[in-house]
A and B are shown apart, each in its own frame.
Chain A
Amino acid sequence: MATDLTPRVTTELDYAGAERLTMNMGPQHPSAHGVFRAILTLEGETVVGVDAVIGYLHRCHEKLAETLAYVQYPSIASKTDYVAAMTSELAYVMAAERIAKIEVPKRAEHLRVLVAELQRVASHCLWLGTWCMDMGGALGGGATIFLYCIRERELVLDLFEKLTGARLLYGFHQVGGVRYDMPEGFAADCRQTIDLIEARLLEYEAMLEDNTFFLMRTKGVGVISRQLAEEVGISGPLLRASGVDFDLRRDAPYSSYQDFQFKVPVETDGDCLARYRVRMVEFRESIRIVRQILDGLPEGPISSRPGVKAVAQVRVPKGETYTRVEGPRGEVGCYLIADGGPKPYRMKWRGASFSNLAVLPFIIPGHSVADVVAIMGSVDPVFGEVDR
């Protein structure tokens, strides 16, 4: 297995001709989770090199942020990582709040954590479903588990629709708080949903854990060593599956994470199975956090500022900051430079999937083509976030 620290890319191989085959996987590929092109160099069935071509989904997000006011951009920020829209919104508003030193009411902070954790559940549902569908096979996944997971994700999206009025791109956060308070009966619905999802997690595990096919597809596949993980700079569940005990929610608490108890799962194997295990525990920990929030949600205002009454109403003084948020895929960062006007001077996203993708050329070579989809799926990239 090529887990040494040299990425093996096609351009660096001295191409010998006949016995090697160059294959494009993507940009449109049924098992790719977006528009991503991997140029694989094959020797028979074995991949010896991989080039990644990204940028098909580039939408000029950072430039767009410069042209939109602080009150306008949060709803656009959700479009970077469209599978976990709440995360990037949170990173952006936190950056503006930090420079402008805007207080956020306690209730809003708790609601922010609530949606972030529900979002993690929804995002992990999509990851598990699509990953298992990519790997195919009778009980190794197939469409069965995909449909089960999507069924549960729909329940979370229903909650989001009740709360914000949208199912995918919410526009829930605003500088100074959140835009929507919990509607009547939301807490009860939320409890019911997370109880159901917790029960359904057992169903997934009944199908996957110990299942020989699933283990064959995941165990020892795509091993990221601890050293490699630290060197490439991956984050999130991938990092924790490689034995690094690091979670921003615990180690650099933002919003109101310091108020809640949760465990940070760590696995040491670094293979696809370890990443699966980490995420399965994260499911349960997120549900635990949601319960804690619902139990002790403080009363009070949900925002220290009015809504979008006038575009220039949020004045952010000169300054710059970097905020980071633990999204479902890892560290989502927002670097914001303000020049005192109603719009940011410059804004830069750190997409978790972008950095996580960088590990592919290290771990894919040596595996067969079929394993490439398993590895890609376990990295869980969202190309909206990679290309921005």
Chain B
Amino acid sequence: MTKVLTTRFDLKGEACDIDVYIKTGGYAALEKAFREMTPEAVIEEVKKSALRGRGGAGFPTGMKWSFVPKESKRPKYVVCNADESEPGTGKDRDLMRWDPHMLIEGMLITAYALNARDSYIYIRGEYWYIKEILERAIAQAYERGYLGKNVLGSGREFNLYVHPGAGAYICGEETALLESLEGKRGHPRLKPPFPAVVGLYGGPTVVNNVETLAAVPWIISNGGDAYRALGTEKSGGTKLFTVSGHIVRPGNYEVPMGYPMSKLIYEDCGGIRNGKKLKAVIPGGSSVPIITAEEVEKCGLDYESVAAVGSMLGSGGVIVMDETVDIFETTRNLTHFYHHESCGWCTPCREGTRWLQKVFERMHRYEGRPGDVELLHELADKILGKSFCPLGDAAAMPVQSAIDKFREDFDRRIKHDLVQIKMHAAD
């Protein structure tokens, strides 16, 4: 299997040193882009690669770049979304700690393609140790002239800054991220205008996930067609999956797009722990609908195939649950997360997640009232599609899918009237 993202993972951090990175082929793509390609050609190559955003939404990256206006009065920016707060997702962490220069190189090529001078990495605050790794790598890149004034004799200046978040999930949403980067409260912005047109400090801004940007050097070196050929027609290349839960070998796995999910779980990850049976999988980080063991069998790991079983590829955080798991409890846990992380901007998400959590809490105490399961479903319905940003949807979808597919785990939590139970017993 061709590796795109994880070629230097085995070096266990040696590639953080720029010499090792260069020795293993690093910064060659940058040289190629700067010396042999026009910015338009770079964008064209990325379009051809069918690279899609790895942050969750899967938006075609080349297309996103082409929305950035050529002429702009305000400066343009490239922003890397390294907020990685999606439960069950830890791929960006490894990309940054084992191979930070690849991200830097990808960002530089992007900045070159979009004619941006300044770029930012917005990194989740808990990754403070990775921030240090990145900053060391950036300092090296400045020393070697990959950053700073007159990069590779192009006469152009490139700067790169790392900015830590302060622990809010919503700041992974690209517009809230921009607000936070500007020093404001982390709330999403209204779209349109999209960041590609009005972004950071009002300037056109491309926001891309770490993994997305890290794939760019390979695409430039090997060509968009080669990258696309690794995956499926609509989802090019490879993807890094964080597999967690009740499997034998949890971790990050790079597999081509379209790879069978069951193969990933049963072969690469060594199957379910302790010989138990698979019960359910959340395939794309906590924000997507849960799927059953039967659905896993049919599911390929690309955007279209996961959608076909009614879920989403999301961030690629595969959470595997065996038969011992009470889906009610996992959903309660997620609801707690979304209530805690709702930014409070809009009514349905702010009030809806609070109410959902209240109902979950009483059901957790086995004090659910008859009708509570339906109430959960309806509350989720009132959030779904009505919220200001997708966080609301992310809170609603897991609840609805869990109830639809694992109803018995919920019903158990309803406390039926004692009198009724007695009567049943007497029957």
A and B are partners in one complex rather than unrelated chains: no
Chain A residues proximal to chain B, CB less than 8 Å: none
Chain B residues proximal to chain A, CB less than 8 Å: none
